[in-house]
Copies of this chain bind each other. A is one copy, B any other.
Amino acid sequence: MTDAESFLAEYDPREYPPVAVTVDVVALTIRDGKLCVLLIERGEQPFAGHRALPGGFVRDETLDEAARRELAEETDVRLVEDRVHLEQLGTYGNPGRDPRMRVVSVAYLAFAPHLPEATAGSDAARAYWVPVEEAKDLAFDHDQILADGLERARDKLEYTPLATAFVGTEFTVSELRAVYAAVWGEELHAGNFHRKVLSVPGFVESTGGTVARGGERGGPKAKLYRAGDARLLHPALLRPTREDRVR
C-alpha cells in the first residue's frame, strides 16, 4: 500500500468525491486607453459559444507555473515571460460551478503592458482582448472571478506601484495617469497627479531622458521615468469619491 493509497483510504470516496483542480487567469492590459481582459471562445459544452477566462488543468507544476503556462498558451510567450505581473486572486470551488464534476479553480490575476493581438499561441485563434465593460455573460462563474479581479486591480493601484506593470520599462507621467484613468474609470487631475507621483518615494525614478517628440496635437516633450524600488506606495494614491464604497 503506497502512501497515497493509505491516505485515500482514510475517507469514504462517496463522502469525498473526486475533484479536479484548474487555474483560470484574469489577464488585464490597456489597449487604446481602455482596460481589456483576455477571453477565449468556448467550443464545447458546457457553455459552448460563450466566452470564458483562459485556464486549464493543473499539471505536475506549482499553481503559479500553471497560471503562467496557461497565459503563455494564449498570448505571446516572449512578452509573458518577462514583464507580466502575476498574483493569486482567489479560489472558486462551489459545488455545481461546473456541471460535469467538482472543479476547484485557482484564479490568477495578471497585469501586462500593452500587448499585441493574441495570435501567437497554440489556441490563439480563439483568444482576444475585450474591453472589460463588454465582458459579460462569461462561462461558469467567470463573471464573478472577473469582477473580483477588477476590484483587486483597482485597490492595488492605490497602494502599490502596480500601474507600472501596464506600461513599458520607460514611461511618462501622463502614460501612468492614463493607466489609473483606465483602471479606475475616471479622469484624474493632471497637475495634482503629476506632483503626487513624483512625491512618493521609490514609485518612479527619472531616466534623465525625454520622449522623442511631444503629443499629436502639441505640447512639450515629457520626461521619461522607470519604475522605482518601492513595493508599497507611501503615501498612497487614493481614489477620489470613496464614499459609495465605504458603507
Contacts and interface: CB of A to CB of B under 8 A. Distances in A.
B104 A4 contact: no
B247 A242 contact: no
A106 interface: yes
Nearest to A246: B232
A230 B247 contact: yes
A217 interface: no
Contacts of A196: none
Interface stretch (A60-68, A78-86, A163-171): A60-68
Interface string A165-209: 000000000000000000000000000000000000110000000
Contacts of A57: 11, 16
Interface residues of A, number: 42
Given A18-B18, A93-B63, A100 B3 contact: yes
Interface in A1-44: 3-4, 6-8, 11, 15-21
A94 interface: yes
A213 interface: no
Interface in A52-81: 57-63
A229 interface: yes
Interface string A85-103: 0001011011100011100
Given A7-B100, A63-B93, A88-B91, A246 B18 contact: no
A239 to B, nearest CB: 10
Contacts of A101: 3-4, 7-8
Given A104-B106, A234-B242, 15 more contacts: A7-B101, A11-B57, A15-B60, A17-B60, A19-B19, A21-B21, A62-B93, A62-B94, A63-B94, A88-B90, A91-B106, A202-B247, A230-B247, A231-B246, A232-B246
Top 10 A-B pairs, shortest CB-CB distance: A4-B101, A3-B100, A7-B100, A91-B91, A63-B93, A19-B21, A232-B246, A91-B106, A16-B57, A62-B94
Interface of A: 3-4, 6-8, 11, 15-21, 57-63, 88, 90-91, 93-95, 99-101, 104, 106, 201-202, 229-232, 234, 242, 245-247
